[in-house]
Amino acid sequence: MNKQDRLYSLDALRGFDMFFIVGGAELIKSVCVLCPSAFTTFISEQMTHTEWHGFTFYDMIFPLFLFIAGVSFPYSLAQKRVKGYSTSKIIYSTFKRGIKLVILGLIFNRFLSLDFTHMRYASVLGRIGIAWMLATFIYTVGGKNWTIGIAVFFLLGYYVLCAFVPSPSAPLGASPFSIEGSVITWFDVHYLPGRCLEGTYDPLGLLSTIPAVVTALLGILTGVFLKENQLPEKKKVLWLLCFATGLVIIGLAWNMLFPINKKLWTSSYVCFAGGLSLLLITLFYWIIDVLKFKKWSFVFKVIGLNSITIYMAQKIVDFSHISDFLGKGTIQLLPEMLQPLFQAICYLIVVWSFLYFLYRKEIFLKI
């Protein structure tokens, strides 16, 4: 992607998203502990996942990343078209990327330990790879209209499946949206290879990948609108806000029939999280690419340009040990109540410095 064609806001938003995974959530929780109140308790709770039904800010970290991957695709697709890539070659390259992400997900789950008895095959990177791969295939082959139609079909079909096909082993009277009554959790226990994360189900299982494809499709449609629409930038922003508000409203309304649930990746969750993701990309696009206020977002861009690298590196490199080695002595001189906060700050500095080194050396993991 040429620099002039690349949305700076995409890298910044990707980095903003990853910020919470690389230590930002712990930093915020540490600040909240120092300022106890109903408000800070609420903010701290937003930095953890919901147990089952419901939604917190942290529940949108994953779909936001998948959404952003979708937004970037129309730009990379246009570049491939300019280079003369055939449709079959484009599909091959996207499938190859998806498979690489699945493999990285397996490595993240300690595949190289060769302990296949206790191996978990489902993974965050695996879901991103499969959902993004299928979404790009749908758009590349079918175009915008087919993409919209298939997205609606997937969401409605998944609702029908969840609501009207109960688990064969469901206890009498169990809700089809409960852990024990859901056909989604039952299917994973019986057909998902390897170990389920939660024992009785896996939040990154097989059937719940269907609506995850729609999350990527929403991103692709957003990217198409941003890239191809000839509206003035301010009107484009207004339309994006309208689309985002509409998705949020649909998600909240659907929640009354089909609860918002990240672990089932329900259709209402797709719409609600998709609407919030669209609001965020609109905000970042307006501030960074329209108003040209970029400097503040550099700290996030450094993270965003090597997002997969740092996700994998945190599993392989003991950044906590490095952080303790460099800052533990100084932190111990501080009052005890301040130590967790400065430990979180020190960890973030170490991680960001590692990414900044890669940025300065122009080392980027390309999938």
| 278 phi/psi in degrees, rounded to 5 | -65, -35
- Is the pLDDT reported for residue 127 higher than 60? yes
Task: State how far the Cα of 315 lies from the Cα of 317, in Å rounded to an integer.
Answer: 6
pTM of the model: 0.93
pLDDT digits (tens, 9 = 90+) for 55-113: 999 999 999 999 999 999 999 999 999 999 999 999 999 999 999 999 999 999 989 88
Residue 312: partners with Cβ closer than 8 Å, 6 or more residues away: 104, 107, 108, 365
- Is the pLDDT reported for residue 170 higher than 50? yes
Both tokens assigned to 302: 């450094």
Which of 296, 273, 216, 312 is closest to 21 using CA atoms? Answer: 312
Residue 101: partners with Cβ closer than 8 Å, 6 or more residues away: 125, 126, 128, 129, 132, 308, 367
- 300-317 core/surface letters (b: 16 or more CB in 10 A; e: else): bbbbbbbbbbbbbbbeee
| 280 phi/psi in degrees, rounded to 5 | -70, -45
pLDDT digits (tens, 9 = 90+) for 310-325: 999 999 999 999 999 9
Instruction: Tell me the Cα Rg of the chain.
Output: 21
Band of residue 200 on the pLDDT scale cut at 50, 70, 90: confident
188, 196 contact by CB (below 8 A): yes
Going from N- to C-terminal start, the domains of the chain cover 3-360
